[in-house]
Structure 1
């Protein structure tokens, strides 16, 4: 093969293998894509989810997509507003966020005492018994703060005796 043909073929191959897959898989930023929400705004919403329903409502009204946002507290410790409500036992905030379309998870369901949902999941996926929520709070912690006595008893019977395991 001639050197010039080799260089053209190699260049085309590099272009095809790097640029086109990124375009096809949507990895490149479209100039019409919206900017990410401000990180401090996301943090404010997640903090409000821990304790302040009126502020949660106010922020959601102005920025509806905050409902899907997670704040990174560092070292992979991500948290959504609903998860803050979950580990502090704030059922009113959790239920409000669920009514607005928040992504509910096993920890929040445990705090809410949804035994009919939590038990079948843990029976199907027993290793989730030891899963850690934001900040390392366990399912047992969530059952206790939610006063979900049936789930608390069930978790203890399954061998879960810790409420917190540091993740940092």
Structure 2
């Protein structure tokens, strides 16, 4: 990550916030200030975040792909969010301890994989010992209407169905809001309640 000493911290913050899914703003800010690409904003002393990490933690594929095309580095959490099992395998071959990797704000690898639309990747990570972040991974799969991943997680693991995301919503509430009757039924069949 680049040092942010010479960059205006407010500009870095704005860019990182835009990285959470505002592709047009990311494009505009990067065109005006290319040095923002790998700049990290220090939310806390031990919690720095780049725009690509922001995109990875919220599942913003379009922002992540754009930033990668511009030269941002691919890390294991971003690869997992993008569903790139082959690249996740390469990261783990180089360093097996990365199975416990965390992205921005300490968000676990498995949570990122919940966005990835790749059941083989989720199965692979769990088989390798990635269990932290299981309930948020379920939420992320629900948010993508990924019935196949949700089904596998419910049948093969034990996510906390009462767990609530940062908006105070359970996976069931999220499925109901998305008007996904198949997902709602599936979650209820596995014990989800409001």
TM normalised by structure 1 equals 0.73
CA distances 1:69-122 after superposition (whole Å, capped 9, x unpaired):
001110311110001101111111100011111122111111111111111321
Does residue 85 in structure 1 map to residue 62 in structure 2? no
SS at match of 1:145: coil
Distance 2:6 2:90 in 1: 37
Greater share of helix residues, 1 or 2? 1
Partner of 1:52: 22
> 1:153: how far off?
0.9
Q: What secondary structure does 1:43 align onto?
A: helix
| Aligned with residue 61 of structure 1, among 15, 27, 31 | 31
Of 83, 90, 94 in structure 2, the residue corresponding to residue 113 of structure 1 is: 83
Q: Specify the structure having the higher radius of gyration (Cα).
A: 1
Q: Secondary structure at the match of 1:85?
A: helix
In structure 1, how many angstroms separate the alpha carbons of the residues matched to 2:11 and 2:132?
A: 33
Which has the higher relative contact order, 1 or 2, with Cα contacts under 8 A spaced 6 or more apart?
Answer: 1
RMSD: 1.4
Distance (Å, rounded) in 2 between the aligned partners of 1:156 and 1:103: 25
Q: Residue 96 of structure 1 aligns with which residue?
A: 66
- Paired residues in the alignment total 130
**Is residue 126 from structure 1 mapped to residue 96 from structure 2 by the alignment?**
yes
Q: Report the secondary structure of 1:147's partner residue.
A: coil
The corresponding residue for 1:141 is: 111
For structure 1, the 5+ residue unaligned runs are: 1-34
Report SS of the residue matched to 2:44: coil
The CA deviation string for residues 17-64 of structure 1, in whole angstroms up to 9 with x for no partner, is xxxxxxxxxxxxxxxxxx711001000000000020000001011001
TM-score for the superposition, normalised by structure 2? 0.64
Task: Give 1:39's aligned residue.
Answer: 9
Say if 1:139 and 1:56 are closer, same or farther in 2 by CA, change over 3 A.
same
Question: Do the aligned residues in 2 keep the contact of 1:91 with 1:146 (CA within 8 Å)?
Answer: no
